[in-house]
Amino acid sequence: MVETYNNMSGMGEGTDATCVFRMPLDDATAPDLMRKVQVSTPVLTIIKGPQTGNTFELDEVETTVGRDPANSIFLNDMTVSRAHAKIKRGPMGVLIEDLGSLNGTWVDGAIVNSAPLHDGSSVQIGTFTLIYHESTPERIETGE
C-alpha cells in the first residue's frame, strides 16, 4: 500500500497529518466494478493533416494503418508508409505497433515501436495527428 502524508500548516502550534492509503490496482480483494459495463467502440480522429475531421471506429481486433488503400485506415500522404502501423485490441487494452515505417509512429510525443493507447492519446503518423478516444464523443447542442 502507498502511504502519503500531507502536513496542514496554519492550524496552531501542532500539525495535523492526513494519511492516504491507496489500494494497488492488482489487489485481488478490490472489486471489479467495471466488469459488466460495455465499453463503446474506441475511435481515432484526425485532428491535423489532409483528412482532418475523419473519425475511424476501431471495431476489429486488428486495424491496419497506412498509405495502401487496402488498409483499414487509409492515410493518403507520401509521409505515411504503405503498411505503417497496426492497432490491436485485446483484454489488456489497445496497443499500437509500428510496422517498420520510414518516419516512425509517435504516441504522446515519443517515437515508439509499440505502445498502449489511452483515452486522449495523441498518435502521429507522417503529417497526420490523430487522437484516440475510448468512445465516440457526444455532440453537444449549443443553440447556434
| CATH label of the domain that carries residue 66 | 2.60.200.20
Exposed/middle/buried for residue 7 (C-beta within 10 Å: 0-12, 13-18, 19+): exposed
Give the confidence band of 41 by pLDDT, cuts at 50, 70, 90. confident
The answer as to whether 28 is a domain residue is no
Query: What is the overall mean pLDDT for the chain?
Result: 80
The answer as to whether 69 is a domain residue is yes
The answer as to whether 68 is a domain residue is yes
Q: Report the pLDDT averaged over residues 117-129.
A: 96
Q: Report the pLDDT averaged over residues 107-132.
A: 96
What is the distance between the alpha carbons of residues 57 and 70, in angstroms, rounded to a whole number? 16
Locus of grid cell 517498420 = 100
pLDDT digits (tens, 9 = 90+) for 1-31: 444 444 444 445 555 666 665 555 555 554 5
The answer as to whether 143 is a domain residue is no
Q: Report pLDDT for 16.
A: 64
Question: Per the structure block, which three cell numbers stand in for 84?
Answer: 505503417
Q: Report pLDDT for 91.
A: 86
Q: Report pLDDT for 92.
A: 85
The answer as to whether 26 is a domain residue is no
The answer as to whether 141 is a domain residue is no
Please tell me the total count of domains within the chain.
1
The answer as to whether 127 is a domain residue is yes
Q: Choose between 77 and 38: higher pLDDT.
A: 77
Give the confidence band of 62 by pLDDT, cuts at 50, 70, 90. very high
Range of the domain at 82: 59-133
Q: Report pLDDT for 143.
A: 58
Percent of the chain with pLDDT over 90: 59
The answer as to whether 45 is a domain residue is no
